[in-house]
Amino acid sequence: MIKIIMHGCGGKMGQVVAEIVANDDACQIVAGIDPRVPEASFPVFPTPADCNVAADVIIDFSTAIAVPALLEFSKTKNIPVVVCTTALNDETTALLQETSNSVAVLKSANMSIGVNLLLDLVQKAAQVLYDANFDIELVEKHHNQKIDAPSGTAMALANAINDAMDQQFHYVYDRSQTNEKRDRKEIGIHAVRGGNIVGDHDVIFAGRDEVIELSHRATSREVFAVGAVKAAKYLAFKGPGLYSMKDVLA
């Protein structure tokens, strides 16, 4: 039985993860960490420093500002951690990399299995279509409560394409300030916010007289929770290192 600490257990994603784990005989949540200290079927602590429960792995769905303290806790207690929180700044990203030298850390911009497959598909498409004079645009849509824009997933898709194409591209987020035609070596990235859209991502390859779109639609938060639990099972008992969902799927 894999013992999990849920960081951010009071949030929407934390609650969905708890529901998934409750129906999984292979793992259980033994503690939660959340400053709101919600009622739960497991003990909940306001900060990582207050948590004294032993565990095999941590799942994090919190806020960017809360991640540094969690990484310190993970390192001190030698507990692998799955970091699902996005919009991390450069300092926290560097800390995450440093922490992975001492303990297993898994970081992904999106925990959905489908999105992680899409990352591979867009790379293959770009390698074929760019040389055939296709332009590349990304459109992401999320609910009206999402703070960061563009989404971490949109940036991961753009970066995946750029990695496959030897960093040829630059990113354009807003064309309203310039009056000039599109550059061949740009990827346009556009964010839409409205309603309760869970998460839509479209990668558009637009050529002469034809358009190819690779899309992913999340219709519930459960797809991210399922991926996070799958990642936690993979990461528990792993040695130090920086892992990704690509490792999980492999």
Catalytic residue among 75, 142, 190, 233: 142
Contact by Cβ (8 Å): 59, 85: no
* 238 carries an active-site annotation: no
Q: How far apart are CA 95 and CA 98, in angstroms?
A: 5
How many DSSP H helices and E strands does the chain contain? 7, 12
Distance CA(27)–CA(34), nearest Å, equals 20
CB 111 within 8 A of CB 84: yes
* Residue pair 48/24 in contact by the 8 Å Cβ criterion: no
Instruction: Classify residue 220 as exposed, middle or buried by CB count within 10 Å of its CB (0-12, 13-18, 19+).
Output: exposed
* Annotation says 146 is catalytic: yes
Of the candidates 3, 77, 146, 238, the residue annotated as catalytic is 146
Residues taking part in catalysis:
142, 146
